[in-house]
Structures are given as structure tokens and as C-alpha cells.
Amino acid sequence: MKDPRFKEAQKKQADEDIKRAFDSFLLISVDYLYRECDYNKDQILAYMEFIIRQLKFVETDADYFLLLNEALLDDIGIDILNSSFKKESVDKSV
């Protein structure tokens, strides 16, 4: 399939899938903050604004999220990008 129209359609579909996945994740996280952490409307809007500000680093600073992930792993024992946990952090929560 070397047809440029086919490649463009595939890229458009992939972009839509990524957007849908991100929107779903944002909805899930907002639902959690509302139901489990008792966030009110203003707190949820502040969270969403924070997310939007952070998204600029996706395109401008590829290392930002790697460094952030390393810091969170050191601080709380959770490796978000690799979906793994340090054993100590799991043991502490038991």
C-alpha cells in the first residue's frame, strides 16, 4: 500500500485513536478526582489547565517526561512510563 491517500487515511485514523484514548484517560482521571478525592469544579478545572500546560512539553522537550518519570520513581516508587512499581512502595502500603 504505497498510495499516499491510504497512508494519510491511516495517519488520520491513528491520530483520532490517540485523541480518543487521551480524552478517555482524562475523563477517567477527572472522574477519580471527583469521586475519590472530592475535587470540586474549580479544582478539576485547575487540574485540566495543568494537563494542558504540561502537554506543550510533548512536542518541545522529549526528555521532560523521562526526567519527571525518574523523579516520581525516586520519590514515590512508581514508574508510570513502564507501568511498574518498586517493591518497597508496595510493601509500605500494606
Q: Please state, as a whole number, how many other Cβ atoms lie within 10 Å of the Cβ of residue 45.
A: 12
What's the mean per-residue pLDDT of the chain? 89
Average pLDDT of the residues in 62-86: 90
- Residue 87: what pLDDT? 62
Q: What is the pTM of this model?
A: 0.72
Residues 73 and 83 sit within 8 Å (Cβ to Cβ)? no
Residues 35 and 17 sit within 8 Å (Cβ to Cβ)? no
Going by pLDDT thresholds of 50, 70 and 90, the confidence category of residue 2 is confident
- Residue 62: what pLDDT? 83
